Structure 1
């Protein structure tokens, strides 16, 4: 058993150790409280973000799914490149048009165009659908209004409208077909690289940029382009009729200002969407029927689609476009 003197010897040391332990425990408790506060803060941010997404999702529900008042001018956008998986994909445009035609409050439809063109297949699909819908709803007219540019495939679509309007400085026309690519044969030779391509079919690889061109294949490809160009011309003539001036340059692929396009009969007047809604349709109230992607889809598209499209476009750079 320890004597009193021995206890006195160890008490100060024990008290010192206890104070260290106590201080450590207090620090750990403070850290725990801070950690809990940060945890609550980040949970709050997470819930706020989720509620914001939910709000945006509800706010972006297609307005065309709900009846809109007694009277309005419907707008459907054709914006950007006309191609699958783009904002101006045919399915997107056609979906907006169908809903706009169905809505009983629609007094007229404006195709608000700002596009350099794109796929002839997508453009032709929209053109044909406009004609079909006009047959089903003969009282509802369609007006194409061109902004900065309405060229090539975009003009193909515009030609289906009852009338076309543009700004005096808009770029209009470019009625032609293009297919461009690169040839790397001499580059491979200089680098000492040998191309190995195995195909079944004499002309299966005729668009291969690493193989020499053959005159007969180039001639064949030009017939494909000419056929598509003639289809384009036929649709423009069908849509515009006698309004087109007899000018051989009309279908040469040239592009004109809105003022020049008016003289050539490519458009019917100068004006903005607001002007057409107010003065032509007679309904100043404008409702946008363009289908909008939900926020999550928009986010993922921005994150990954641009890279994917860039790779895809580089692989199929020889694909045919109305541009």
Structure 2
């Protein structure tokens, strides 16, 4: 009797395993097919839609698979759209707080070089480096409550020198070149090093201001008055001349149709296709994914958090 019960349980386990396996296989198959179909149909249209989302960096990927915007990819999208005769305009859909100064400038420069009419649609936030990109377009649309501006530069970091002393640890300084370890968090920041770092930030800030002033056809001195790093709501940004109009995606569509004399707008969506791992992770609940994120980030980001980084 006990033997029959064991066989019965084993049979049900086998059935469950088979069903789960079939479900996973079918899900993976449908995901692959849909991604291929999506990639094929996404590039048909007369207006390129390029998203600028999350932190802007060269690579666009941070730890734990968090996706941001890669300047390398966006520049390729811009080049492709610029070379496509079917594309009449480019709309940048922005929802980003900014990011690397270099990556932001790379995209802004690419926008300025294109021969197409360009538009920026700021959703929740288009600040700092993301605003730099938006300022390079021909027309900026934002919501009255969108966060914009924040024309400033930051390179702050946590200093661990006091913590090391507390636990009787020390930083052994081995350098060739007086300022080779400039900005390391394991020693106190001397006044001369702080002055050097501040000078670099001021130079980047000045370049940021001059670039935005040129893009927005605004006197540099006037822009300096509001380029304090403060963010502005869309309603304030319009008064300050940082954006051109209020609206949403439908507003952008109507504006493009009107200015370019188009009867309809069909978006050609440029976006990076999901990798196999990203698709697999997306099928499961994110609860477990985020449990270890705090501790894990400290481990996986050690190389970046222990060096000075400059962001706009």
Tell me how far 1:141 sits from its aligned partner. 1.4
Does the C-alpha gap of structure 1 residues 47 and 100 become closer, same or farther in structure 2, counting only changes over 3 Å?
farther
For residue 179 of structure 1, what is the aligned residue in structure 2? 155
Tell me how far 1:64 sits from its aligned partner. 5.6
Question: Is the Cα–Cα contact under 8 Å of residues 143 and 162 in structure 1 kept in the other structure?
Answer: yes
For residue 254 of structure 1, what is the aligned residue in structure 2? 230
Tell me how far 1:101 sits from its aligned partner. 3.9
2:139 to 151, 163, 166: 163
What TM-score, normalized by structure 1, do the two folds share?
A: 0.77
Moved more, 199-208 or 311-320: 311-320
Tell me how far 1:68 sits from its aligned partner. 5.3
Does the C-alpha gap of structure 1 residues 225 and 263 become closer, same or farther in structure 2, counting only changes over 3 Å?
same
What TM-score, normalized by structure 2, do the two folds share?
A: 0.80
Aligned length: 291
Question: Is the Cα–Cα contact under 8 Å of residues 62 and 291 in structure 1 kept in the other structure?
Answer: no
For residue 3 of structure 1, what is the aligned residue in structure 2? none
2:311 to 296, 301, 321: 321
For the pair shown, the structure with the greater C-alpha radius of gyration is 1
Q: Aligned partners of 1:62, 1:177: CA distance in 2, in Å?
A: 41
1:238 correspondence with 2:228 = no
1:121 correspondence with 2:121 = no
Does the C-alpha gap of structure 1 residues 194 and 112 become closer, same or farther in structure 2, counting only changes over 3 Å?
same
1:56 correspondence with 2:31 = yes
Tell me how far 1:247 sits from its aligned partner. 4.5
For residue 47 of structure 2, what is the aligned residue in structure 1? 73
Question: Is the Cα–Cα contact under 8 Å of residues 64 and 96 in structure 1 kept in the other structure?
Answer: no
Secondary structure of the corresponding residue to residue 246 of structure 1: helix
For residue 82 of structure 1, what is the aligned residue in structure 2? 56
| TM-align CA RMSD | 3.1
Does the C-alpha gap of structure 1 residues 294 and 182 become closer, same or farther in structure 2, counting only changes over 3 Å?
closer
For residue 252 of structure 2, what is the aligned residue in structure 1? 276
Q: Aligned partners of 2:265, 2:280: CA distance in 1, in Å?
A: 33
Unaligned runs of 5+ in 1: 1-22
Q: Aligned partners of 2:221, 2:240: CA distance in 1, in Å?
A: 5
1:312 correspondence with 2:301 = yes
Q: Aligned partners of 2:138, 2:162: CA distance in 1, in Å?
A: 51
Moved more, 47-56 or 300-309: 300-309
For residue 203 of structure 1, what is the aligned residue in structure 2? 179
Tell me how far 1:44 sits from its aligned partner. 3.0
For residue 111 of structure 2, what is the aligned residue in structure 1? 130
Does the C-alpha gap of structure 1 residues 218 and 278 become closer, same or farther in structure 2, counting only changes over 3 Å?
same
Unaligned runs of 5+ in 2: 62-66
- Output one character per residue of 1:163-219: Cα deviation in whole Å (capped at 9) or x when no partner: 111111111111111110123333443444333232332222221223122222111
Tell me how far 1:51 sits from its aligned partner. 2.1
Does the C-alpha gap of structure 1 residues 212 and 193 become closer, same or farther in structure 2, counting only changes over 3 Å?
same
Does the C-alpha gap of structure 1 residues 300 and 89 become closer, same or farther in structure 2, counting only changes over 3 Å?
farther
Q: Aligned partners of 2:241, 2:86: CA distance in 1, in Å?
A: 31
For residue 267 of structure 2, what is the aligned residue in structure 1? 286
Question: Is the Cα–Cα contact under 8 Å of residues 79 and 115 in structure 1 kept in the other structure?
Answer: yes
